[in-house]
Chain A
Amino acid sequence: MQQNLNKLFSLLLAAVCGLLCMSFMPSGKIKPRPGRHTAPAPLKLPQGFTVHTIIDSSAKARDIVVTPQGLIYVKLSRPKNGKAILVLKEGPDGKATITGGFGNYNGTGLYLKNGYLYASSNEAVFRYQLNDKNEVIHPEKPETVISGLKMGRQHETKSIVLDNDGNIYVNIGSPLNSCQEKDRQPGSLGIPGCPLLDSAGGIWQFSADKLNQSYPEGTRYATGLRNVVGMDWNRQNNTLFVMQHGRDQLHDIFPDLYTQKQSAELPAECMYMIKKGDNAGFPFTYYDPFLKKNIQAPEYGGDGKKEGSPEYISPVVAFPAHLAPNGLLFYTGNQFPEKYRNGAFVAFHGSWNRTPEKQEGFMVAFVPFKDGKPSGDWEVFANGFAGVPEVLSPRQAKHRPCGLAQGSDGALYVTDDVKGTIYKIEYKK
């Protein structure tokens, strides 16, 4: 018996070692198809769509805007060679070259409107005047629109978007995961009332044209939002839409209430339609996509089932947990088929909080919209950024989608903040 077992072990051992060896070999590498223009990016897309990479910038590329003239601005999360905003130009061969750069601050946000390029650091919003070709006139002399914004260690980036009435909206993320007395410590309860909401955990509205504003000049437009990275203004119903990054670690913090699996699947990543004065419930509630309800957070007396107060808004779309939505774009172009017009693209950076399940996300999703409301289920639009069949740990992902922009011809641009790759997705009839 003992000997048999030993034999079995040796066999298993051999099998395991064999498998491990195999896994070291490059498996099923996708051969780049020889394209007419540039190296095609191996993404999975719906029929009729093509993609190629316009550049591998080797920088942490976050938000991106494309001017009507085809000039591309990309915000880097950290300056590279002293420059945090790259200027790119696409050549006739489909490859982009870096033609300039400016700004030496960390951050994520970038937005183009009314003759200005708006860009955010983690504490402030600047703007650069543009000439009639949408080129920045004084790259070294931005105007400070807003400053002194709260910046925690976490959720420090300030995403920005403008409406059509001269207002700018700024996300100020919660410096804490779930407003615990002791951040991310097992069993630690919520700070009563979560006072940090007076200056963070929401969207603030400022004037897009006044300089040197800070909290006193701003309005807390919406609260109860843990951290928003992707946001966009929907021009069909003239309303702000945001993508929230849901809270982490339900199991780590409350192991008696949540299993690891539940923790991997809760809460939903939510898309909210935001009206002035809305409260999305953070940190007091989170949205459970299975019960389809706002549930009381365990830090604030919840038991995993107790419903939250009805004053909190519900999401318009609930995506699977922890996928980390970093880009939101309403598509207003004409290049893509009818179905995509006015719909929402969402770039998911990919999860880290689904252990021991495999990590998910690393894709761009699409939600069809009609008259400013979702008109169907969301679907995966572009997938395969990770470059591996499975991601167990985020570092395995070769690319992670981040920012989205629409070109003047209706192409969709996607940034990646691992290798700084910029993808251009086109539809050809």
Chain B
Amino acid sequence: MHFTGSVGRATDNAIIHPMKKILVFSCLLCCIAPVHAQTKKAYTAKKVVPATSPVETLKRGKVLYQKFCISCHQVDGGGVPNLNPPIVGTSRIAGKKAPLIKVILNGMQERVEIDGEFYSNNMPPFKTLTDQQVADVLTYIRKSFGNTGTGITKTEVTMVRSGKIK
């Protein structure tokens, strides 16, 4: 296993082994609740694997990310300079939800400036993902790699897909 830098990276290449999965999982918790983990050590250690839904969402989102997004946006969400934008700390990742949802549904094929840089690859649309899947993967990226955005719900994706939210 590689540990080079952020939590996101360390957790991100380990779906191979069930034990690793557990590790990944605990790391994930680390990054969600770092304060807890530090102040109430022994106590939290017992509660490491609750099957609460935010964690499940992140888990599903991560699987989707690794399947559909990782090759372009990379294990740490850092993207590829000049080719694929980072999805860490950029203004739009933390910003409005509808434009992000649209990026996943419609892809992005135009040359646009993202925080002062241009990226020359094409982002394919992922129309075949369900509303739940789009919500999961976006929630995952908005809460991983050091991002601290809010989650995106299935209903919000449904509204955008149907054109009710623009």
Contacts and interface: CB of A to CB of B under 8 A. Distances in A.
A137 interface: no
B61 interface: no
Interface stretch (B120-128, B135-143, B158-166): B120-128
A164 interface: no
A395 B124 contact: no
Given A77-B82, A355-B70, A358-B2, A392 B124 contact: no
B84 to A, nearest CB: 7
A395 B30 contact: no
Contact of B75 (A392, A400, A418): A392
Given A77-B82, A153-B111, A393 B26 contact: no
A390 B2 contact: yes
A6 B22 CA distance: 12
Given A352-B84, A355-B70, A183 B9 contact: no
Interface stretch (A10-18, A29-37, A194-202): A10-18
Given A184-B122, A353-B71, A393 B78 contact: yes
Interface of B: 2-5, 7, 9-10, 13, 22-23, 26-27, 30, 37, 42, 45-46, 48-49, 66, 68, 70-72, 74-76, 78-84, 86, 109, 111, 120-122, 124-125
A13 B80 CA distance: 31
Interface in A160-203: 177, 182-186
B3 A396 contact: no
Contact of B45 (A6, A77, A418): A6
Contacts of B111: 153
Given A9-B45, A394-B81, 4 more contacts: A185-B125, A248-B71, A355-B71, A392-B13
Contacts of A17: 30, 37
Interface in A1-41: 6, 9-10, 12-13, 16-17, 19-20, 22-24
A355 B46 CA distance: 34
Given A153-B120, A154-B121, A393 B9 contact: yes
Contacts, number: 117
Contact of A352 (B66, B74, B86): B74
Interface residues of A, number: 44
17 contacts: A6-B48, A10-B48, A16-B10, A16-B27, A17-B30, A19-B3, A23-B3, A153-B121, A154-B83, A154-B120, A182-B124, A184-B121, A184-B122, A252-B68, A392-B4, A393-B78, A395-B79
Contact of B3 (A20, A155, A252, A394): A20
Given A20-B10, A392-B4, A395-B79, A13 B74 contact: no
Contacts of B7: 20
Contacts of A393: 9, 74-76, 78
Nearest to A106: B118
Contacts of A390: 2, 4
Nearest to B110: A153
Given A10-B45, A23-B10, A352-B80, A184 B124 contact: yes
Contacts of A155: 120
Nearest to A248: B71
Interface string A69-88: 00000000100000000000
Contacts of B13: 356, 392
A63 interface: no
A356 B69 CA distance: 12
A395 B23 contact: no
Contact of A395 (B22, B42, B45, B80): B80
A388 interface: yes
A117 B130 CA distance: 54
Contacts of A388: 4
Nearest to B38: A17
Contacts of B71: 248-249, 251-252, 263, 352-353, 355
B5 A23 contact: yes
B48 A13 contact: yes
A9 B124 contact: no
A13 B24 CA distance: 10
Contacts of A23: 3-5, 10
B6 to A, nearest CB: 8
Contacts of B45: 6, 9-10, 13
Nearest to B127: A185
A428 B162 CA distance: 69
Interface string A377-402: 00000000000111011111000100
A156 interface: yes
Contacts of B49: 9
Given A13-B45, A20-B7, A183-B124, A395 B2 contact: no
A358 B2 CA distance: 9
A155 B122 CA distance: 11
Contacts of A186: 124
A13 B76 contact: no
Nearest to A252: B71
